[in-house]
Chain A
Amino acid sequence: MSAETIEKAIEKKPAEALLSKRRKKLVTDPLVDDNPITIQVLGICSALAVTTQMKPTLVMAISVIFVVVMSNLAISLLRNTIPTRVRIIVQLAVVATLVTLVSEVLKAFAYDMYKELSVFVGLIITNCIVMGRLEAFALGNKPYDSVLDGLGSALGYSWIILAVAFFRELLGSGSVFGVPVYEYISGLFGPDFKLATNGLMVSSVGAFIILGLIIWVQRTITGYVEH
């Protein structure tokens, strides 16, 4: 018996709902409980580098979402054909291609953004979240699940870097998405009132502090302990 009957048993199982509980968990887990930045502490480099302002951070977040989701899909589709001995280099080639695509598109349609993000778009290749998900998930799971998993991880990464960027831009430059919030608030209190911006927040030290505080708050709430 064995192989054949098991295969039949699998075939007879009713199709899993498009957004079953397990699949929802794939997306929601990395948002908080298993967040790539605050829990796994991956992708810190770009979280520090691109978060002085919200606009470039948003572009970076979208780029990472695209790269993680698409590479997860590609690797998952190829998972049964990729020779194990060269799987890392295959993953790297796929990721590098996607990153180059993002970079080329930015160069054509948002040249200012391309200049501002400069080297950091290219560095998505080395973002541990991308290869981490490929190795840990996409190589052993079906395409749809892998896409959801990638989406979850990328969103987990995105909301954290956007949160860091929000505080850094607000406290460091007195604005949000380039809108001068501080100027507006100062205006409410008369001409002599001025809110001071904090230069520390613009430097990478500011990112460390904000990130540390976010991790602290989050771990206090969830009660997560490093094992």
Chain B
Amino acid sequence: MQQSNVYIITFSVILTVVLGLLLSGTSQVLGPLQKEAIALDKKKQILGAVISGEEIDAMSPEQINAFYANRISSVVVDINGKEVTEQAGAPVNAENVDIAKNYKKPADQRLFPVFIFHAEGDNEAVESYIFPLYGAGLWDAIWGFIALDTDMNTVGGITLAHAGETPGLGARITEPGVQERYTGKEIFDQNGELVAIQMQKGEGKDYSSDPHKVDGMSGATITGNGVNAMLQNYLGYYKSFIESKKNSQAVAEAL
């Protein structure tokens, strides 16, 4: 009866259009809210490198926005550590720099945002510098933020996130227990060479005496290697900036 090809095609077309309208409508309506949620999440990740996860969880979205506005300022630099204020005539804002998009460009054309964590109520006193990280895990992208203390060497904290690592294995990089392993580690060796920090294969060993190694994640060596490469790469890209800050600090101390 109703089974002619014309009927089937008409039915399918109508169904597709109705469902398509429904979906695009929802996407339009919820789009701004989702953007806000994503921006808030990014702020949480940036703050996560300098304050503990529990503190962030205890804050309401408004408090996080206020805290971020009070304590974090940002600059954008290029590969040589020079500040970039505009690109192609448009002003550059660190919050709007898409690390993932920049990742696809050659390193010397990328924009590198730096987030600066200030002491409370004092915009001059820097507590730490926060650098974004981006790279590849086992299945998909991984990214994060690393905070360096003002000596530009000691890690103040790190947040790591991923798009699709294996739950229970590589996905563990988001756990506070894993991220805490980086706190207090150092990125330069005694000769001033950038060696970053390597996550080791295997888990359960004590690396507290080695400032450049952290305990690994059992069953997630490839994700761990991805984190290592990401740290090495991005700290390398920021090296000029890091060293310029290091030198200015040394000068300030000498005076």
> Quick check: is B23 within 8 A (CB to CB) of the other chain?
yes
Q: In the complex, what's the smallest C-beta–C-beta distance from B167 to chain A, in angstroms?
A: 7
* A84-B3, A85-B8 known; A100-B23 Cβ under 8 A: yes
Total interface residues on A, using CB and 8 Å? 28
Instruction: Tell me the A127-171 residues at the B interface (CB within 8 Å).
Output: none
Partner of A83, one of B8, B30, B34: B8
**B41's closest neighbor in chain A, by CB?**
A111
Kindly state the separation between the CA atoms of A85 and B33 in the bound complex, as whole angstroms: 40
Chain B contacts for A82, CB-based, 8 A: 11
What does DSSP make chain A's interface, helix, strand, loop or mixed? helix
What does DSSP make chain B's interface, helix, strand, loop or mixed? helix
* A83-B8, A85-B3, A101-B26 known; A203-B34 Cβ under 8 A: no
B11 pairs with A81, CB closer than 8 A: yes
> Quick check: is B2 within 8 A (CB to CB) of the other chain?
yes
A93 pairs with B15, CB closer than 8 A: yes
Partner of A109, one of B16, B22, B33: B33
A97 pairs with B11, CB closer than 8 A: no
Chain B contacts for A86, CB-based, 8 A: 8, 11-12
Partner of B22, one of A97, A108, A112: A97
> Quick check: is A195 within 8 A (CB to CB) of the other chain?
no
**A203's closest neighbor in chain B, by CB?**
B168
Instruction: Tell me the B8-38 residues at the A interface (CB within 8 Å).
Output: 8, 11-12, 15-16, 19, 22-23, 26-27, 30, 33-34, 37-38
A111 pairs with B40, CB closer than 8 A: yes
> Quick check: is A12 within 8 A (CB to CB) of the other chain?
no
Chain B contacts for A105, CB-based, 8 A: 26, 30
Chain B contacts for A198, CB-based, 8 A: none
Partner of B168, one of A93, A108, A114, A204: A204
**B174's closest neighbor in chain A, by CB?**
A115
Partner of A49, one of B37, B164, B167: B167
Chain B contacts for A119, CB-based, 8 A: 164
A108 pairs with B37, CB closer than 8 A: yes
**B19's closest neighbor in chain A, by CB?**
A97
> Quick check: is A183 within 8 A (CB to CB) of the other chain?
no
Q: In the complex, what's the smallest C-beta–C-beta distance from A201 to chain B, in angstroms?
A: 12
Chain A contacts for B41, CB-based, 8 A: 111-112, 115
Instruction: Tell me the A58-100 residues at the B interface (CB within 8 Å).
Output: 81-86, 89-90, 93-94, 97, 100
Kindly state the separation between the CA atoms of A202 and B175 in the bound complex, as whole angstroms: 13
Partner of B23, one of A84, A90, A101, A114: A101
Chain A contacts for B207, CB-based, 8 A: none
Interface-central residue, A105, A108, A202, by most chain B CB under 10 Å: A108
B27 pairs with A104, CB closer than 8 A: yes
> Quick check: is A25 within 8 A (CB to CB) of the other chain?
no
> Quick check: is B103 within 8 A (CB to CB) of the other chain?
no
* A83-B3, A107-B30 known; A94-B8 Cβ under 8 A: no
Chain B contacts for A202, CB-based, 8 A: 168
Kindly state the separation between the CA atoms of A82 and B16 in the bound complex, as whole angstroms: 13
A90 pairs with B30, CB closer than 8 A: no
**A78's closest neighbor in chain B, by CB?**
B15
Kindly state the separation between the CA atoms of A29 and B19 in the bound complex, as whole angstroms: 32
**B33's closest neighbor in chain A, by CB?**
A108
B30 pairs with A104, CB closer than 8 A: yes
A83 pairs with B15, CB closer than 8 A: no
Chain B contacts for A204, CB-based, 8 A: 168
Kindly state the separation between the CA atoms of A85 and B4 in the bound complex, as whole angstroms: 10
- Of the A-B pairs whose beta carbons lie under 8 Å apart in the complex, a sample of 26, sorted by A's number, is A81-B2, A81-B11, A82-B11, A83-B2, A83-B3, A85-B8, A89-B12, A90-B12, A90-B15, A93-B15, A97-B19, A97-B22, A97-B23, A100-B26, A104-B27, A104-B30, A105-B26, A108-B30, A108-B33, A108-B34, A108-B37, A111-B37, A111-B41, A112-B41, A203-B168, A204-B168
Return the 9 tightest CB-CB contacts between A and B, nearest first: A111-B37, A108-B33, A108-B30, A83-B8, A97-B19, A108-B34, A107-B34, A104-B30, A104-B26
Given A94-B19, A97-B23, 9 more A-B residue pairs with CB atoms under 8 Å apart are A83-B2, A83-B8, A83-B11, A85-B8, A86-B8, A101-B22, A105-B26, A107-B37, A108-B33
Report B's interface with A, CB cutoff 8 A: 2-3, 7-8, 11-12, 15-16, 19, 22-23, 26-27, 30, 33-34, 37-38, 40-41, 164, 167-168
Report A's interface with B, CB cutoff 8 A: 49, 81-86, 89-90, 93-94, 97, 100-101, 104-105, 107-109, 111-112, 114-115, 118-119, 202-204
